[in-house]
Amino acid sequence: MLGENKYHFIAIGGIGMSALARILLERGATVTGSDAAASYVTKGLEKAGAKINIGHNAENLPPSAVVVYSTAITEQNPELSCAKKLGYPLIHRAELLAELMESHAPLLVAGTHGKTTTSSLLAHVLVVTGFSPSFAVGGIVHSLEKNGGAGHGPYFVAESCESDGTFSLYPGYGGIITNIDNDHLDYWKEMPALIEGFRRFAGNMRAKNHLFICVDDPILRDAGLKAKTYGFDLAADVRISNFLQHGWKIVFDLHIEDGFHPEIEVPLVGRHNALNASAVFALCLSLGVPEAGIRKAFRSFCGIGRRMEKKGEWNGIEIYDDYGHHPTEIATTLEGVRAAFQGCRLVVAFQPHRYTRTRDCFEEFGPSFQAADVLYITDIYSAGENPLPGIDTHALMEQIQKANPSSLYSPRAELAMRLKETLRKDDVLVTLGAGDITKIAGELLQLWQT
């Protein structure tokens, strides 16, 4: 369908959909779309040339176009329903990504946690070092000011999400698998099926010498994949040593086969980001990127939207926002923040995401907040799911309080005011979750300024 020159995206503001829309715009296609609400993403796409309607309506469909949809779009969506009735050509988001990667050497980043940071860092390095990659990642890369782009070089960096199984459609050249954890079991149902999905994904790689997997992850280590390994483990092909964190910067050494690469610096926090960066470093070296260029690019990396993104500061209080919503992500993120802000009081506000994830990770949430000094839990963000019996905010609150007795509940509508009353000079606030908790920083700053 890439011979077509007009595309209409249903829910164009989604982070995955918007990346593909931007690539098509940069390739000269006409792009229209719709979304439930305007956002910084839709505004950025309009600035790039897209025509976007707010609200889903059959009248949004242009006279002719390929209609792009995702797994999240139901049959009841008026645009999808009308497009089917009128015979519009339809393409799933994953199929479009696969087509966009044709004639490129795809570098695919998969894994339950860390894939957005890892794929963004990889895209950043290849752009800065002059390789001009195309890319589609799950966050706005601050240095590139976008989440997708059409480059002129041979490589295509893509974040490959396992949430609906479509990542097995992508024929990769090389890439990185960060870990495997118990997420998206609403689709996979059980862990063996999820692990098998990652086996199929890895099996699609054309160049196994450019595939790197984290040996520190026990599930990934035992999955039997043919790849090079990275991690802190002494048996890793790419081994991290001498890890240090200095404020908002990590430094570590890398041992790659017979080579030694000392004092690699990245302006990120946490051991988990040393793992992510080591994989990118090793993959780029294997592709022939000069080491000096990788090091320079690492030092200039300035993060991704919604990945420990600094949202503001008021009276000595610093506010950060993070997309983390799985217990593993929460624990590693907060440990890194605690190391960066030693001596400060760490205030955390968490919005659970989806009833199914809350159910599947129910007992793991409590211990994941150990680094927090003050913890607020707000209402579950359903993301369109129907409630499940016995799985609600009250039940989760009771579970979390077993490990964090002083944790507090706040309704979402009152959360900003509760935080305003709690926060004091030199505190660090971290908002966590994949829902609308990202708006809390703006709500707080507005309260302080009025």
**Residue 394 to residue 382: CA distance in whole angstroms:** 15
207 φ, ψ to 5°? -125, 95
Q: Please identify which residue in the block is written with the tokens 């929460």.
A: 330
Question: Which structure tokens are listed for 273?
Answer: 């980001």
Question: Which structure tokens are listed for 392?
Answer: 């609600």
159 labelled catalytic: yes
**R_g of the chain, CA atoms, integer Å:** 22
116 labelled catalytic: yes
How many other CB atoms are there within 10 angstroms of residue 431's CB atom? 28
How many other CB atoms are there within 10 angstroms of residue 75's CB atom? 7
Q: Is the distance from CB of 230 to CB of 215 less than 8 angstroms?
A: yes
Q: Residues 32, 116, 356, 438: which is the catalytic one?
A: 116
307 φ, ψ to 5°? -120, 90
Closest CA to 153 of 180, 174, 123, 108: 123
Q: Is the distance from CB of 415 to CB of 378 less than 8 angstroms?
A: yes
Which residues have C-beta within 8 Å of that of residue 55, sequence separation ≥ 6? 34, 36
DSSP annotation string for 61-87: S-SS-EEEE-TT--TT-HHHHHHHHHT
How many other CB atoms are there within 10 angstroms of residue 425's CB atom? 9
Closest CA to 353 of 330, 370, 375, 374: 330
Exposed / middle / buried, residue 164 (Cβ in 10 Å: 0-12, 13-18, 19+): middle
115 labelled catalytic: yes
Classify strands 66-69 and 238-245 as parallel, antiparallel or unpaired. Answer: unpaired
Q: Please identify which residue in the block is written with the tokens 């979750």.
A: 433
Q: Is the distance from CB of 301 to CB of 267 less than 8 angstroms?
A: yes
Q: Please identify which residue in the block is written with the tokens 């959909």.
A: 17
Q: Residues 159, 162, 329, 335: which is the catalytic one?
A: 159
End-to-end Cα distance, the chain: 52
Catalytic residue set: 115-116, 159
